[in-house]
Amino acid sequence: MLGGIIIRRSRLDITLEILKLAMNGAKKTQIVYGANLNSTIANKYLTRLEDKALIIHDDGLFLTTDKGRLYKDMASELEIT
């Protein structure tokens, strides 16, 4: 909340934040706090990103795949601010 105004993030914004956090490997807790999500919502995003092969879960860490890096870079370039 910013000055009494609730700012909602898009699915793309949340997805890009998760991919960014997982670039060098991140635990689920780091993603939850870093992306400011609750555990249930984080689980949904992480499952979806794994299903799309944008991240992998390996030895307790989530890692952005090459496909995920490409997606993040392309989406960041196209994002209108």
Residue 35, domain CATH: 1.10.10.10
Asked, for residue 33, whether it belongs to a domain, the answer is yes
If you write DSSP's letter for every residue of 7-28 in order, what string do you get? -PPPHHHHHHHHHHHTTT-B-H
pLDDT at position 3 over 90 = no
pTM metric for this prediction: 0.87
CA-nearest of 46, 51, 48 to 22 is 46
Asked, for residue 4, whether it belongs to a domain, the answer is no
Q: How many C-beta neighbours within 10 Å does residue 22 have?
A: 28
CA-nearest of 74, 52, 49, 75 to 62 is 49
Gap between the Cα atoms of 58 and 12, Å rounded: 24
pLDDT at position 79 over 90 = no
- Mean residue pLDDT of the chain comes to 91
Tens-digit pLDDT profile for residues 10-42: 999 999 999 999 999 999 999 999 999 999 999
**Domain containing 52: what range?**
11-78
